[in-house]
Amino acid sequence: MNTLKEEVRKEPVTMILILLNILLFLAVELTGGSENVEHMLECGAAYAPYILEKGEWYRLFTCMFLHFGIRHIENNMLVLLVLGGRLERAVGKVSFLLIYLLGGVAGNVVSLLMDLDAVNLSVSAGASGAVFAVMGAMIYVLVRRKGRVEDITVRQMIIMAAFSLYFGFTSSGVDNAAHIGGMIGGIIMAVILYHPRKIRTSVP
């Protein structure tokens, strides 16, 4: 219990986001099923015709908090748990929240644009765009911090990102456009928001 309280104290935004995703997943699961496409649409999943023709732009945001099945949310929340707290401590609570939310929306916008040329339009949901935004931001922060943030090195982060992208491209039903868009969005947000103070040394 003390360990959990300590984690919440040190990385409140990360823990709140994880808790919010889990609670919404349970609510969707209990009210109609997280793998029921029609129910997911009712709950706010992204679907190009609804967004463009009906003007339901809020779906670019709400879809980040919905997941198709337990494995989907497990994978996203595990990565967020591993990286979120470290990035939150490095850039600050507000900056981390902006990276997560705006980076995630950026990923969903890229996904929407890619869907315009698709023959079969898909229903999209998941926090992976936002999670990839966290990855992209972490890579930038690692570079600015000369290759290390706590126990994570830039080499480890690049390998993790590359493996995650590879897994997406070699799997079916994965929104790779949201992943790439989220990662680029995360890097851009980190460039804008993260400005580490330089330590000045006085010369005697």
Report the number of distinct structural domains present in the chain: 1
Average pLDDT, the chain: 89
Domain-embedded: residue 154: yes
Residue 62 pLDDT greater than 60, yes or no: yes
3-state secondary structure of 145: coil
Q: The dihedral of CA 141, 147, 148, 151: what is its sign? A: positive
Residues 67, 72, 124, 179: which is the catalytic one?
A: 179
The predicted pLDDT at position 74 comes to 95
Domain-embedded: residue 200: no
Q: How does residue 200 score in pLDDT terms, banded at 50, 70 and 90?
A: very low
Contact assessment for residue 186 and residue 132, using Cβ atoms and an 8 Å cutoff: yes
Q: How does residue 149 score in pLDDT terms, banded at 50, 70 and 90?
A: confident
- Which of 9-13, 39-43, 194-198 is least confident? 194-198
Domain-embedded: residue 198: no
Residues 34, 124, 128, 164: which is the catalytic one?
A: 128
Residues 69-85 as b/e (b if ≥16 CB within 10 A, e otherwise) read eeebbebbbebbeebbb
Higher-confidence position of 4 and 147: 147
Q: What is the pTM of this model?
A: 0.89
**Residue with token string 């009712």:** 42
| 128 flagged as catalytic | yes
Domain-embedded: residue 199: no
Domain-embedded: residue 204: no
Domain-embedded: residue 203: no
Contact assessment for residue 84 and residue 96, using Cβ atoms and an 8 Å cutoff: yes
Domain-embedded: residue 201: no
Domain hosting 186: range is 2-193
Secondary structure percentages of the chain, helix, strand, coil, to 5: 70, 5, 25
Domain-embedded: residue 142: yes
Q: How does residue 5 score in pLDDT terms, banded at 50, 70 and 90?
A: low
CATH of the domain at 149: 1.20.1540.10
